[in-house]
A = this chain, B = another copy of it.
């Protein structure tokens, strides 16, 4: 499948590389078509790996992954273009976190709204699925870094889109995928990241994940 990945940071590169490994073609999008981080990634990943602007990547993808920083996501998606996202699954990995005031971080949106909902409202024709935002990037594509059973969450209004994204998550190695409900439930999975940030500080390592035991 052709997949567009927005964002050239750690998360964007890790997700893109895994998608390439799984046999997909990936165009990594950035503000500029010649982003150095994306160029390095293209070089390292060979055939099937290309780069371009946010717009190029969104046009290219049958599915689009938003791996931009939460504070910049709405702007990046606007640059990607509503017409290039409409009807497509938009996998949203972003967290609306502001680290500029130190630890713990603060959220630019939470409680009665979420970034997932803001993105769905701004791009009503896209099928937003919030997922992968509750763990370290390396664990996203290699859950076995954390031993035993642990969970990943999907939130979104479109059941078929969540099912399709769950297939991709299974290909990433996930076995316990919890459907949290509609995109409003992104409030829960985004706010969970405050706990994640505190646990990361406590453990001094990002190699952990959440498990719901029942």
Contact = CB atoms under 8 A, between A and B. Distances in A.
Interface string A171-214: 00000001111001101110110110111011101011111111
Contacts of A178: 202
Contacts of A192: 191-192, 194-195
A110 interface: yes
A112 interface: yes
A150 interface: yes
A197 B202 CA distance: 25
Instruction: Give the secondary structure class of A's interface.
Output: mixed
Copies per complex of this chain: 2
A203 B214 CA distance: 9
B188 A212 contact: no
Chain A, interface size: which category?
Answer: 35 or more
A72 B212 CA distance: 30
Interface in A69-112: 104, 106-107, 110-112
A192 B184 CA distance: 15
A147 interface: yes
A46 interface: no
Given A111-B107, A208-B214, A212-B210, A195 B203 contact: no
Interface of A: 104, 106-107, 110-112, 146-150, 178-181, 184-185, 187-189, 191-192, 194-195, 197-199, 201-203, 205, 207-214
